Amino acid sequence: MASAEIYNKALDLLSRREHSRKELYLKLTKRFESKEDINLNLDRLEEKNLLSDSRFAEEYVQARRKKGFGPIKISAELEKRGVNESLISNEIDRFEDWEDLAELSFKKRFPDGVSKDFNKLQKQKNFLWEGNKEFKGINPFFAQLEKKIYKIQNRVLLSRFRGKTKCPECNGKRLRPEANFVKIAGYSISDIIDLSLIHISEPTRPY
């Protein structure tokens, strides 16, 4: 009798939305005592393809991406829900369009768009290069592709975008980090190099 109740309750929960096995197990343990019966019924549901971590992961990734969440956060959430690492990786790779994700994350972080203020613009550039907890920046994104170089689509993508770029340490200034310790009117020598003559004339004009 208890086994039938467990099965029917599981079906009721699955009829509302997809669940991972771990999610469904935890919900059922709050209502039923026999963990053995719960697992037996979950096995039955998986055999009938009524319960599927793969299907759950696919729907979860799509739903979270539409809300602007990045692959790092989504992966952590799926792992917490008991989805195995290889399945998470497959689903993230399948639905990850980095350019769309970069645009969504940028708009979420900077709703006013590209800033004309020098300091804010530098923060926006750094955000795109390095990313945050929700969004892989340019550097982490390509580092991840290089780890999976055996995939042909990754090799094609790398060949399209990889080339000469600025040094991440000096940002193309060819200066040691110590050179930026000295500042004039709050600007380091690296900052001054990037400023236009109009911007630089005001803070450095002698009294």
The answer to whether the beta carbons of residues 46 and 52 sit under 8 Å apart is yes
In order of their start, the domains of the chain are: 2-51 (1.10.10.10), 54-161 (no CATH), 168-207 (no CATH)
pLDDT in the model for residue 97: 64
Other Cβ atoms less than 10 A from the Cβ of 3: the count is 15
Least confident of 59-68, 74-83, 118-127, 177-186: 177-186
The string of DSSP codes covering 109-155 is H-TT-S-SSHHHHHHHHHHHHHB-SSSB-HHHHHHHHHHTTTSHHHH
pLDDT in the model for residue 206: 46
pLDDT tens, position by position, 88-111: 887 777 655 667 777 778 888 888
pLDDT in the model for residue 62: 79
pLDDT in the model for residue 1: 56
